[in-house]
Structure 1
Amino acid sequence: MNSSQLKPLLSIGNKLIGFILFVICAFAIYNKVLQNENLNQYGADLKIQLSKIHWGAWVLMGCLMVLNYTIEAIKWKSVIAETNQFNIFQALRAVLVGQAFSFFTPARSGDYVGRTLFLAPGTKLKGITQMAWASYAQLLMTICFGSLALFWNLPFLPWLKWVAPWGAAFAVGLFFYNQNFKGWLSKLNILQIGTGLKWKLIALAFSRYLVYLLQYNWAAAMLSIPVTGLDLSIAIMALLFFLSMIPAISLTDLVIRGQLFLLLMAPFYHNDILLIALTTLIWMVNFLIPSILGAILLLGFRLKR
């Protein structure tokens, strides 16, 4: 087959690649939701609790979801600016597609695949390392605030409250370490980013972390859970800390999230159904809905040459 005959086939394949990826993601998301233990076990009760929520409360939660992913898109746009010029909508599209892939992959590793699909040829490998910096900045927020939360409320493993701050200090030091490598390791210096960009990532990660806390507190208000904002926030900071240490796909993440949350909230509240409803609501808003949107956005994807 000569090049003139092959070219139309490649063109058709390029046009279909987005649809194929959409089908793969849509099927995987649907399959994972069907296997969800919390939805299978508490489905009827969750439906009753969520149906009581006024539509206006859902609108505000939707706005927080948009804010959450917009901040992440700004992080992604900022960290790849050296090699790829994205506007905010292109960055948001990449973030949502990455979320679609991460929904069914271990430790959400698919996020890297989804985002780098939209990078220019020759910059994808560096894009992975750039994303690692953005993810690291978010992890720092989780570790630092989680370490503070462990002092306030840790009903198990009391020794951890003394170990976590040292781990947080080490993680911060490693993030801001700017010493250039020498010798055969000097090629790794290209993976480094500037201190100014690191501080920008920290500021954006901090903003996104605050949005997380707002989302959980608003979800608690939507479900009329009688817990103070401080107690709930401390429990959430500890929850996010532990979740960051447990590799999981979004399906098992919801199950683990629910059980950990029940344990951390035990000193303050004992209505398991409402607490499971809260974690399920957040899971839907922060993971399921963005994953569905990301899968839909794949329909227009074309391979870059």
Structure 2
Amino acid sequence: MFTIKVAILIGAAYFIYDKLTNNSQLDFATFWTQLEHSKLLHFSTISVLLFISILNWFVEIVKWKTLVNSFKEISLWESAAHTLGGLTASLFTPNRIGEYGAKALYFQKSERKRVVGLNFLGNVAQLLATIFFGMLGGLFFILHFELTLPWIKVWQIVFLLMIIATLLIVITKQKIIQIKGFSWGRMRDFVRNVSGGIHLKNCSYAVIRYLIFSHQFYFLLLFFGLNTSYFLTMSTIAVMYLITSLIPMLFIFDVVVKGSVAVWLFGYLDIPELSILTVVSLMWILNFVLPSIVGSYFVLNFSVPKSNEKSVVS
């Protein structure tokens, strides 16, 4: 177990170092020059940015605690260990899917399927918040710039997605392809067994967290000469998060994909490419690099549960 922990920490450290020093879109020297010119390197500014990042992950930690408390009481410290330790351990997995397994390891074997389901509910709530604000932002963005979308292609994609979704439901219901421990009936029952209050809190925390990190992005843009209206800027940020959240990608390419999408979208607002790439890199450092460094402490101190504990149903 110790060897695995060390391997995870070394891998995470190398990944962060490689991304900071070998960014194909923005080399470190240019990144640092941009920071100096933006006047971000002040104690008060850095303190505010760190506070926002801490608040962002605190909300996620509270959200996870709320979900787990639906069947078992855990402390805020334990929730922090699950959340940040899971982040660190999932750095190299597609769309952070490794987070599911990492969080499940903190629980008894009999509890792990439930934990995976709860983690899924948490991620779905965050995705739904992103889609909701992204669609509102997209509508405002399209109307403002009077963009003409290729509606035929859009409807073709929507139709294709509907067919794929229908086939997946039919295949699963008819048990054409069986996945151990999974069925639509079990999923439906699992969601229903989680109280409405927990679902409401889960979605509320997801919305709060979305508002926190999207406004952090806006706050950073202000230091790079942003002179566009608040609503137009926030709509562009919303579209950026919507697009990047729907693109299947390896988490290791997350900052690259977000950078490319952001440069394209903020080009409509006449914001320089280097400024956007710097902001995207800063958001990555503040909300993933620093939390994963804290998470490395929890990974190093992780131990497999030894005995069953009493569970409670709320």
Matched position secondary structure for 1:107: coil
Structure 1 stretches lacking a partner, 5+ long: 1-12, 171-180
Q: How does 1:103-142 map to 2 (within 5 A)?
A: 103-142=91-130
- The reply to whether residue 36 of structure 1 matches residue 59 of structure 2 is no
Separation of aligned partners in 2, 1:257 and 1:187: 36
Separation of aligned partners in 2, 1:283 and 1:70: 17
Q: CA deviation at 1:152?
A: 1.5
Question: Partner of 1:46 in structure 2?
Answer: 31
Q: How does 1:212-291 map to 2 (within 5 A)?
A: 212-291=213-292
Question: Partner of 1:176 in structure 2?
Answer: none
User: Are the counterparts in 1 of residues 88 and 299 from structure 2 also a CA contact under 8 Å?
Assistant: no
In structure 2, relative to structure 1, the CA distance for the partners of 1:36 and 1:106 (3 Å cut) is farther
Amino acid at match of 2:190: L
User: Are the counterparts in 2 of residues 102 and 249 from structure 1 also a CA contact under 8 Å?
Assistant: no
Q: CA deviation at 1:49?
A: 1.7
Question: Partner of 2:53 in structure 1?
Answer: 65
User: Over residues 142-177 of structure 1, what are the superposed CA-to-partner deviations in whole Å (9 max), with x where a residue is unaligned?
Assistant: 1111111111114574539x87xx99xx9xxxxxxx
Q: CA deviation at 1:16?
A: 5.8
Superposition RMSD on alpha carbons, in Å? 2.7
User: Over residues 243-285 of structure 1, what are the superposed CA-to-partner deviations in whole Å (9 max), with x where a residue is unaligned?
Assistant: 1111223331111111111211122123111111111111111
Q: How many pairs does the alignment contain?
A: 274
Amino acid at match of 2:292: S
User: Are the counterparts in 1 of residues 86 and 103 from structure 2 also a CA contact under 8 Å?
Assistant: yes
Amino acid at match of 1:47: W
Matched position secondary structure for 1:106: coil
Match of 1:100 among 85, 88, 91: 88
Amino acid at match of 2:122: A
Q: CA deviation at 1:224?
A: 3.4
Q: Percent identical across equivalent pairs?
A: 24
Question: Partner of 1:174 in structure 2?
Answer: none
User: Are the counterparts in 2 of residues 220 and 278 from structure 1 also a CA contact under 8 Å?
Assistant: yes
Question: Partner of 2:66 in structure 1?
Answer: 78
Q: CA deviation at 1:29?
A: 3.8
Separation of aligned partners in 2, 1:111 and 1:28: 17
Structure 2 stretches lacking a partner, 5+ long: 163-172, 174-182, 307-314
User: Are the counterparts in 2 of residues 57 and 222 from structure 1 also a CA contact under 8 Å?
Assistant: no
Question: Partner of 1:293 in structure 2?
Answer: 294
Output the TM-score relative to the length of structure 2. 0.78
Amino acid at match of 2:213: Y
Question: Partner of 2:165 in structure 1?
Answer: none
User: Over residues 59-106 of structure 1, what are the superposed CA-to-partner deviations in whole Å (9 max), with x where a residue is unaligned?
Assistant: 101001011001111111111113332111221221111211232211
User: Are the counterparts in 1 of residues 89 and 299 from structure 2 also a CA contact under 8 Å?
Assistant: no
User: Over residues 214-267 of structure 1, what are the superposed CA-to-partner deviations in whole Å (9 max), with x where a residue is unaligned?
Assistant: 211111123333333222111110011101111223331111111111211122
Output the TM-score relative to the length of structure 1. 0.80
Amino acid at match of 2:214: L
Q: 76-85 vs 142-151, which deviates more?
A: 76-85
Q: CA deviation at 1:186?
A: 4.6
